[in-house]
Amino acid sequence: MALQQSGNASYLPFESELQEHDRKIHELEELSRANKMDFSEELRVLRERRGDIVRRTYANLSPWERIQVSRHERRPQARDYLDMIFTDFMELSGDRMFADDMAIVTGLARLGDERVMFVGQHKGRNVRERHLTNAGSPHPEGYRKAMLKMRLAERFGLPVVCLIDTKGAFPGTGAEERGQAAAIAENLRDMSVLRVPVVAAVIGEGGSGGALGIGIGDRLLMMEYAYYSVISPEGCAAILWKSAANAPEAAAALKLTAGDLSEMKIIDEVVKEPAGGAHQDTKAAAEMLKAALLRNLAEIKDQPIDRLLEERYARLRRHGVWLEGAQAGMGAAAGGAGK
Amino acid sequence: MAFGGLKRLALRNKKILPDGVFMKCEGCGAMIVMKETEERGGVCKECNHHFRINARRRIELTLDPGSFQEFFADLQSCDPLKFSGKKPYADRLKDSQSRSGLPEAAVTGLGKIEERELAFGVTDFFFMGGSMGSVVGEKLTRLCELALERRLPCAVVCGSGGGARMDEGMYSLMQMAKTSAAIARLREASLPYIVVLTNSSYGGTMASWASLGDVILAEPRAMLGFTGPRVIKETLKVDLPPGFQEAEFMLRHGLIDMIVPRGKLRETLSRLLVYLTPARAGK
Do A32 and A105 belong together in one domain? Answer: no
Average pLDDT, chain A: 93
Domain that holds residue A122: 69-317
Q: Which of B92, B148, B176 to mutate to test the interface with A (most CBs of A within 10 A)?
A: B176
Q: Is residue A327 part of a domain?
A: no
CB contact under 8 Å between B232 and A189, yes or no, is: no
CA dihedral of residues B241, B245, B246, B251 (deg, nearest 10): 110
What's the mean pLDDT in B132-155? 98
Q: Tell me which residue in A176, A264, A322 faces B170 most closely, judged by beta carbons.
A: A264
Check which CATH number belongs to the domain holding A116 and give it.
3.90.226.10
- From A323's Cα to the closest Cα of chain B, the distance in A is 5
pLDDT of residue A279 exceeding 70: yes
For residues A47 and A94, membership in a common domain is answered with no
Is A249 found in the same domain as A214? yes
The verdict on residue A217 lying in a domain is yes
Contact A255, A227 (CB under 8 A): no
What value does the mean pLDDT take over residues A93-101?
97
Q: Which one of B78, B173, B249 has the shortest CB-CB distance to A321?
A: B78
Q: Give the mean pLDDT of A180-207.
A: 98
Structural domains in chain B, sorted by start: 1-49 (no CATH), 52-274 (3.90.226.10)
How much is the pLDDT for B16? 43
At B9 the pLDDT is 59
State whether A204 and A269 are in the same domain: yes
Contact A173 B185 (CB under 8 A): no
What confidence tens digit (pLDDT) does each residue in A129-152 have?
999 999 999 999 999 999 999 999
Whether residue A25 is found in the same domain as residue A110? no
Residues A22, A79 within the same domain: no
In eight-state DSSP terms, residue A3 is: P
Record: contact A193-B188, CB cut-off 8 A: yes
pLDDT value of position B14: 45
A325/B253 Cβ within 8 A: no
- Which one of B132, B160, B171, B245 would you mutate to disrupt binding with A, by most A Cβ within 10 Å of its Cβ? B171
3-state secondary structure chain B: CCCCCHHHHHHHCCCCCCCCCEEECCCCCCEEEHHHHHHCCCECCCCCCECCCCHHHHHHHHCCCCCCEEECCCCEECCCCCCECCCEHHHHHHHHHHHHCCCCCEEEEEEEECCEEEEEEEECCCCHHHCECHHHHHHHHHHHHHHHHHCCCEEEEECCCCCECHHHHHHHHHHHHHHHHHHHHHHHCCCCEEEEECCCECHHHHCCHHHCCCEEEECCCCEECCCCHHHHHHHHCCCCCCCCCEHHHHHHCCCCCEECCHHHHHHHHHHHHHHCCHHHCCC
- A21: pLDDT strictly greater than 90: yes
What does the pLDDT read at residue B150?
A: 97
pLDDT digits (tens, 9 = 90+) for B33-91: 999 999 999 999 999 999 999 999 999 999 999 999 999 999 999 999 999 888 999 99
Q: Is the pLDDT of residue A49 over 90?
A: yes
Contact A339 B80 (CB under 8 A): yes
**More confidently predicted of B279 and B223:** B223
pLDDT-derived band at B203 (thresholds 50, 70, 90) equals: very high
Q: How far is A254 from chain B (nearest CA, A)?
A: 5
pLDDT at A324: 93
Average pLDDT over residues A108-128: 97
Does residue A110 fall inside a structural domain?
Answer: yes
- Assign B275 a pLDDT band (cuts: 50, 70, 90): very high
d(C-alpha A293, C-alpha A287), whole Å = 10
Q: How far is B262 from chain A (nearest CA, A)?
A: 24
Of A60, A93, A112, the residue at which a domain comes to its end is: A60
pLDDT higher than threshold 50 for residue A330: no
Interface touch A264/B203, C-beta < 8 Å: no
Q: What's the total number of domains in chain A?
A: 2
Asked if residue A337 is part of any domain, the answer here is no
Cβ-Cβ contacts under 8 Å, B168 against chain A: 230, 320-321
- A-to-B residue pairs, Cβ atoms closer than 8 angstroms: 207
Residue B279 pLDDT = 58
Instruction: Please report the ipTM that was assigned to this predicted complex.
Output: 0.94
